[in-house]
Structure 1
Amino acid sequence: MSYFQRVIEGLDAVAHACNPSTLGGQGFKMENFDASLSPYFKALLGTRDTRVKGWFLLDNYIPTFICSIIYLLIVWLGPKYMKNRQPFSCRGILVVYNLGLTLLSLYMFCESTKKHPCLPTCASHTDPWTQQQLPGNRLVTGVWEGRYNFFCQGTRSAGESDMKIIRVLWWYYFSKLIEFMDTFFFILRKNNHQITVLHVYHHASMLNIWWFVMNWVPCGHSYFGATLNSFIHVLMYSYYGLSSVPSMRPYLWWKKYITQGQLLQFVLTIIQTSCGVIWPCTFPLGWLYFQIGYMISLIALFTNFYIQTYNRKGASRRKDHLKDHQNGSVAAANGHTNNFSFLQNNVKPRKPRKD
């Protein structure tokens, strides 16, 4: 059976499951729709990885999709709600938030912890879903111990080291949900000019992409981009946290280099992903092609941001850059130009924050 025939069969299964006549007269139900997605995903992407079965948020796509829709609704409605209200400072919570994401990113990059995403009462070496005894979680060390091949690495070739990577990459997926708060802080602080096409595209897409990654290719060649991104986020969120404190802002000089690091990250990810295409292994080629395309889109958007932010001359623009703050900090590293015009129209003169 050809690939396109399998896709068509999957679509037929979705249509059949959502047809009221096949639902016993009960009409549309979310669980029926969710179940109908499975054959479509299987036809399009192949068999799901059973190692993450039962893991929080991974069994069904619907919760991730709903979270993304809610995020986009808040992006649309939030500035309207704040239009006639004074902005919030959020300084204290921003310090805690950025510190937390800095530590989480550092953990995902290299540190070992003895607990998995579960309640504090969980046994220190027990997986909360499988109840199996597990060693500590590491990303860099898992790659090292598993002797991952830089050029191409399959998803079932490193044994227990693969499971270490999977557990850390679950946190990476979950961190993309946490990072929605970046945008919410912009809205609360009425920094609507920072809610850009790049910002929303990057935040909304990453959570959804990584749900699929975790269900089909949760280790192997998937590790590289997440490793680089975790390192960049250590630098980025530590910068944001420091610039949440007004007295620290004059001493922060490296925002430009964070953006350069992000662009370098995308280029290195394309190079490493291309190696898997040139010297293939058991890692699915379709995922590699998709990642290359996605990285190209980010390079285009971030390059546009970098040019508009750093290459435009003029004293007035330089003055504006000193005043802009991203998530309580100087707006630079995560791309905040080319903003949505409908958000600009909602900005009204307001009293200055005392932060």
Structure 2
Amino acid sequence: MIQVIKNLMDGYAAAMANGDPRLADWPLMKSPLPVITICCSYVYFVKYLGPQLMKNRQPVDIRYLMIFYNFIMVLISALLVYVFAIKAWFNGYSFKCQPVDYTPHGDALLIAQASYFYFIVKFLEFFDTIFFVLRKKFSHVSTLHVIHHGLMPFSVWWGLKFVPGQCFL
């Protein structure tokens, strides 16, 4: 049993060593554990803690905050589409299969940075569900919705860690 654990730990270390070296020092990119912790905390809050905290309270009126949030999310999405369109999709990248360019400068680095920004945005999208909880719209907090938002940062992390030029939107 100890040998199995040692083999698993060695395999994990080898896999992490094969990550994109450009991203090695970027926040949340050393290990998947912080991302898993944040995602699990999100699920715990929106499914258990948040509804418990809101049980004996009035719904929070966050209409203007939601308008601002949605406006910012539209701007962010437009910026990401623009960057990927100009620097990747209409700049010679294949729509089917693109070899990863690990060049530490130029368009390859910009695509890696844009992919990382996309990854961070997945955490910002947690606020969609948090707003439902604060407004006591618990019927909107479906299991599918929570699974989707809870897994997206984790799934994007793997692509970003190993093949950042392949993080398709």
The interval holding the TM-score normalised by the smaller chain is 0.7 to 0.9
Q: How does 1:48-59 map to 2 (within 5 A)?
A: 48-59=19-30
Between Structure 1 and Structure 2, whose CA radius of gyration is higher?
A: 1
Gapped regions of structure 2 (runs ≥ 5): none
Letter in 1 for 2:130: F
The percentage of counterpart residues that share the same residue type is 30
Show the counterpart of 1:155. Answer: 100
Please state how far the C-alpha of 1:109 moved relative to its aligned partner. 0.7
Show the counterpart of 1:167. Answer: 113
Query: Where is the helix percentage greater, Structure 1 or Structure 2?
Result: 2
Letter in 2 for 1:168: A
Q: TM-score, normalised by structure 2?
A: 0.87
Please state how far the C-alpha of 1:103 moved relative to its aligned partner. 0.6
* TM-aligned CA distance change 1:208 to 1:102, over 3 Å: same
Q: Is the 8 A contact 1:179 1:203 kept in 2?
A: yes
Q: Is the 8 A contact 2:119 2:156 kept in 1?
A: yes
Q: How does 1:93-112 map to 2 (within 5 A)?
A: 93-110=65-82
Show the counterpart of 1:91. Answer: 63
Show the counterpart of 1:207. Answer: 153
In 1: Cα distance, 2:120 partner to 2:4 partner: 28
Please state how far the C-alpha of 1:73 moved relative to its aligned partner. 1.3
Q: Is the 8 A contact 1:10 1:39 kept in 2?
A: no
List 4+ stretches of structure 1 deviating above 4 A: none
Gapped regions of structure 1 (runs ≥ 5): 1-8, 15-35, 111-137, 227-355
Q: Is the 8 A contact 2:20 2:102 kept in 1?
A: no
Q: Is the 8 A contact 1:186 1:194 kept in 2?
A: yes
Letter in 2 for 1:107: L
Q: Is the 8 A contact 2:51 2:133 kept in 1?
A: yes
Deviations along 1:20-49, whole A, 9 cap, x unmatched?
A: xxxxxxxxxxxxxxxx5x742635x88211
Q: 1:81 aligns with which of 53, 73, 76?
A: 53
Deviations along 1:293-338, whole A, 9 cap, x unmatched?
A: xxxxxxxxxxxxxxxxxxxxxxxxxxxxxxxxxxxxxxxxxxxxxx
In 2: Cα distance, 1:99 partner to 1:203 partner: 19
Q: Is the 8 A contact 1:68 1:204 kept in 2?
A: yes
C-alpha RMSD over aligned residues: 2.5
Please state how far the C-alpha of 1:13 moved relative to its aligned partner. 4.7
